[in-house]
Amino acid sequence: MSTASIKDHANTLLNLLDMERSLAMALLNAKEDPKYTSIRNATSGLVFFGTPHRGAKAVELGKIAVRVARFVSNGHASNDLMNCLEHNSLFTRQMTDRFRHQLEDYRVVSFIEGKSVQVGGIGPTSISHLVVDEESAVLGLSGLRETQLKLDADHSQMCKVASRGPMYRLIQGNIKQLVDQALLSEQGFIPQPMAQGAQGSGPSPPPIPPRIHSNSSIPYRTRPPAPKEKVTGSMFTPLDNDPRSVKSAELKNWARWDEARTVEYEIFQEHLRTLGPDHFSTLAVAYNLAEVELESNFLEKASEWCQWVSDNAQRVFGAKHPLTMKTESLMSEILVQKGQYQEAESVGANVLARQQMSIGEEHWDICETRRRLAMTYIALGRQEKAVMTSEKLTQTLQNLLGETHIRVFASALDTLQYIICNTGDTTALIVMRFQPQVQKAVEMLHQIHEDLRSVLGHSHPFTIRALCLHGRALGFVQQPIEASETLRRALASAEDSLGADHPLTMAVVSNIGVMYAIQDAASFQNESTEAYPWLIRYLNWLENRKGKGNPETLATLEMLANMHFRAKDYESAQTYFERIVEGSRGGDQKVVERTDNFLQLCRANTMYTPRVRGSRRGVSGILSALQPASNRWNF
């Protein structure tokens, strides 16, 4: 190795690249020297094999660099270069910071050595260690910018792939993805290899660049332009420049989950085939599929995808990787939706603590975990804690993204939803109706809806959600006429733009049914004919999506059962109570006991009653049952 300075070595590399047109210091110099600007601009991705980026375990980075140099040179490296490396003339903190500022311009793959090298001794007394350990070999970027992979090789074997085995495929697949992404960014398409035997048949036609929306037969609604001063940003962003990923993000921003699922699954199948199940991109798309299934309320499918990503991410990247923790956070939301509230809180709190230690307090993944914890608190009946958590999250998002970002609107809607939440305590409900914060929530929901409608249009999912919550709030403060009108407007918009079975449409249906049921209960009416069709429609959808044992399904069954019981329609009530018992097996024992009491009363009233419509019940039913059959059925 020569005694030239590190900067000289970097400039030599640049000069060779400039002549041949094919790092860290080379790219720094390229930015500062106009002669090499074209090289920097032509650089799209970086691949590091056991490269020390920073010190680890109280070892200065320069000393790690010396260890690497001595290892690869078999002890023949020059003293000048050793001194240069050891005294941090290459890897100064200032230089590292300068390089890190450029990293957002590139996609990075960092390969980590998975085996130690023997440095002395033999047999039981041998000494071995990693030349560059994992802490030093990664840049610590977000999962979307840096892919971190451990190879089954020591430092000297990492770049010496002898056969096309698993290690070759892993390296080749990741480098190919960097190339594909560069081609997509530069040309808008990936050139396809020529089919075998086509060389002599003349030139093939040029590939057609994929177009984002018009090539699909899926109905797709474009988003209207939004004035910047009102609402900015988006809820979902593409994983990369793949037009399908861009399209999927747009579909998800419009809550078109079925279409998004189709696109994401197509990407997943391609990644699984070309990159393998352990590649970060494959796992990231699978995570997206878990999210889509959760938003669609197919909980079992969401759980399967999430568990698959979690198992593979932990095995490949480790428990501290952002994707692993992010997937655990998503699992906590799935557990909430399944009614496993205590487990959801435990998982959410655990992953939040780990995220705070590894990625920082204001990272977006932490914001998502806090949002999910607030959902868990409201499900556990801790309304005050849910509101406080959601308010803090809204403030954090405002500081990070600005007051007009759509994520801030989403968090504000969550907070207001928790404020007007019916916890089931009738006394508390009556008191809450007259609290200033509830009245304020009604006003704020109206204002948010108007803001979103004026910018995003009446058919946007966030506009519909805000209108639905406003209608729910109006019912909460006993303005039934206004509440009914508002909820029906929300339903019309949801059915028109999203479809009759969309989760948001069904949320409006649920709110209408609950509104009528509460109104009838408050007015002591025994017949609740207006509520029945809405609740039955919602119940059928719940059983199909969330399952018969889901807490929301059981709560809807219980509401219908109690309504029939109050109306003295004991046969119908008994049917619903029996369905609750069937769905509650192995579940909440309090629900089972409460239901069993009502079920016994229903059976007492229907014991001797023929189970046909129009038959009399109770004592009159018993007397009727004692009459001779010829008299009973004599028309």
SS3 content of the chain, % helix, strand, coil (to 5): 65, 5, 30
Mean of all residue pLDDT scores within the chain: 77
Per DSSP bridges, beta strands 146-151 and 127-129 are unpaired
Q: Which domain holds residue 168?
A: 44-118+128-187
Q: Which pLDDT score is estimated for 224? A: 39
Mean pLDDT score, 467-487: 90
Q: Which pLDDT score is estimated for 99? A: 64
Is residue 111 domain-resident? yes
Residue among 325, 359, 319, 297 at smallest CA distance from 506? 297
Q: Which pLDDT score is estimated for 330? A: 97
Report percent pLDDT > 70 for the chain: 67
Q: Which pLDDT score is estimated for 421? A: 79
Q: Which pLDDT score is estimated for 90? A: 45
What is the rounded CA–CA span in Å between residue 72 and residue 88? Answer: 19
Q: Which residues contact 390 (CB under 8 A, 6 or more apart)?
A: 371, 374, 411, 414, 415, 418
Is residue 266 domain-resident? no
Which of 223-237, 268-282, 620-634 is the most confident on average? 268-282
Q: Which residue has the tokens 């590939």?
A: 207
The count of domains in the chain is 1
Q: Which pLDDT score is estimated for 257? A: 96
pLDDT confidence bin for 617, thresholds 50/70/90: very low
CB atoms within 10 A of CB 416: 25
Is residue 493 domain-resident? no
Q: Which pLDDT score is estimated for 635? A: 34
pLDDT confidence bin for 616, thresholds 50/70/90: very low
Bridge partners of residue 377, in order along the sequence:
none
Per DSSP bridges, beta strands 127-129 and 117-120 are antiparallel
More confident residue, 426 or 420: 420
Residue among 573, 555, 556 at smallest CA distance from 564? 573
Question: Helix 551-566 to helix 570-583 angle, to the nearest 10 degrees?
Answer: 160
Concatenating the DSSP letter of every residue in 371-438 gives HHHHHHHHHTT-HHHHHHHHHHHHHHHHHHH-TTBHHHHHHHHHHHHHHT---S-HHHHHHHTTSHHH
Assess whether pLDDT exceeds 50 at residue 208: no
Mean pLDDT score, 196-206: 40
Is residue 632 domain-resident? no
Q: Which pLDDT score is estimated for 523? A: 62
491-519 tens-digit pLDDT:
999 999 999 999 999 999 999 998 888 87
Assess whether pLDDT exceeds 90 at residue 541: yes
Mean pLDDT score, 279-294: 95
Q: Which pLDDT score is estimated for 434? A: 55
Tokens of residue 618, six digits: 């109770």
Mean pLDDT score, 62-83: 55
pLDDT confidence bin for 27, thresholds 50/70/90: low
Is residue 469 domain-resident? no
Q: Which pLDDT score is estimated for 8? A: 56
Per DSSP bridges, beta strands 45-49 and 107-113 are parallel
Under DSSP, the state recorded for 321 is S
User: 3-state SS string over 581-633?
Assistant: HHHCCCCCHHHHHHHHHHHHHHHHHHCCCCCCCCCCCHHHHHHHHHCCHHHHC
What is the rounded CA–CA span in Å between residue 356 and residue 360? Answer: 5
Mean pLDDT score, 88-95: 48
Q: Which pLDDT score is estimated for 528? A: 56
Is residue 304 domain-resident? no
Is residue 426 domain-resident? no
Assess whether pLDDT exceeds 70 at residue 608: no
Q: Which pLDDT score is estimated for 522? A: 63
pLDDT confidence bin for 217, thresholds 50/70/90: very low
> What SS3 class is residue 474?
helix
Tokens of residue 433, six digits: 């109706």
321-378 tens-digit pLDDT:
999 999 999 999 999 999 999 999 999 999 999 998 888 777 889 999 999 999 999 9
Per DSSP bridges, beta strands 146-151 and 107-113 are parallel
Is residue 575 domain-resident? no
pLDDT confidence bin for 270, thresholds 50/70/90: very high
389-399 tens-digit pLDDT:
999 999 999 98
Element (H, E) at 232: none
Residue type, 175: I
Q: Are 1 and 77 in contact (CB under 8 A)?
A: yes
Mean pLDDT score, 113-117: 81
Per DSSP bridges, beta strands 117-120 and 107-113 are unpaired
Lowest mean pLDDT among 22-36, 157-171, 382-396, 447-461: 22-36
Report percent pLDDT > 90 for the chain: 37
Tokens of residue 454, six digits: 């004026």
Q: Which pLDDT score is estimated for 274? A: 92
Q: Which pLDDT score is estimated for 154? A: 83
What is the rounded CA–CA span in Å between residue 155 and residue 116? Answer: 8
Q: Are 329 and 350 in contact (CB under 8 A)?
A: no
Lowest mean pLDDT among 95-109, 432-446, 556-570, 614-628: 614-628
Report the alpha-carbon angle 530-533-534, nearest 5. 85
Q: Which pLDDT score is estimated for 360? A: 74
